[in-house]
Amino acid sequence: MSLRAAALAPWGQTDPVLKAQATLALDLSLPVRADEALQSPSAGPGRSAKPELVPHTQLKAKSMATPEGRAMLVHSIAHIELNAIDLALDVVWRFAGMPEAFYTDWVRIAQEEAKHFTLLRNHLVGMGFDYGDFPAHNTLWDMAERTKDDVLARIGIVPRTMEARGLDASPGVKNKLVSVGDHRAGDILDIILEEEIGHVAAGNRWYRYLCAERGLDPVRTYAELIAQYDAPKLRPPFNMAARRLAGFEEAELAALS
């Protein structure tokens, strides 16, 4: 079996804990087979019955002074990390014809996302809750569906827009949790931020590779992709330090404002 074909198994796994475990077990020494044409047995990644997926406008936060309010926030981050596992695995099996390093990069990213999900889920259990106890939204996977026919659009928008928003949000979310005494969540968010910088950096690197291959200007093309795929509009505050570490160029940072 190739590494790309092996990625389909955790992608299709419905149990979130088993999905994370199967992702962590992927063998990076398998042959990649970049030109292999693969088909998924299902229209989308495996999903459990819980959490209930609702429009993001229906999600209501509760006071951070309550255990439930804190758990809801940790749950929302765990849900993002679970989606991020599927997003990385989807890139691996769906898009053929890229260099081998592209696929090994995204399998490693999927494994780090699985680690993040596991840390957050274990913390939730320690708080007396579990993943699936609260409703969640499907915004991340909706964007994956919109960009499934073009690797440039997928890499241009998902890691460089959707995941980069996580870099911006991380300090504020950490402050919320630490301010009410949840220092363990703060420690987990520090781990996630450090590794997500690397994920966004990989997105920047492969996005520029694809733009160069197609003879496109990265800054202008990014603006065109945002408009074409109706990506979320980015709003401040921006974590400029993290974005610079993730490889955004000054022209791109200036365009944010």
Q: What is the pLDDT along the chain (257 residues), one digit of tens a residue?
A: 999 999 999 999 999 999 999 999 999 999 999 999 999 988 899 999 999 999 888 888 889 999 999 999 999 999 999 999 999 999 999 999 999 999 999 999 999 999 999 999 999 999 999 999 999 998 889 999 999 999 999 999 999 999 999 999 999 999 999 999 999 999 999 999 999 999 999 999 999 999 999 999 999 999 999 999 999 888 999 999 999 999 999 999 998 87
Q: What Å distances lie between residue 67 and 72, 80, 125, 132, 190, CA to CA?
A: 9, 20, 12, 16, 21
Q: Which of 44, 22, 45, 14 is nearest to 132 (CA)?
A: 14
Hey, where are the domains in the chain? 3-30+56-256
Q: How far apart are CA 136 and CA 128, in angstroms?
A: 18
Q: Which residues pair with 136 in a beta bridge?
A: 53
SS3 53: strand
- At the top level of CATH, the class of 3-30+56-256 is mainly alpha
Q: How far apart are CA 44 and CA 232, in angstroms?
A: 22
Q: Which residues contact 71 (CB under 8 A, 6 or more apart)?
A: 124, 127, 128, 129, 133, 134
Q: How far apart are CA 140 and CA 162, in angstroms?
A: 7
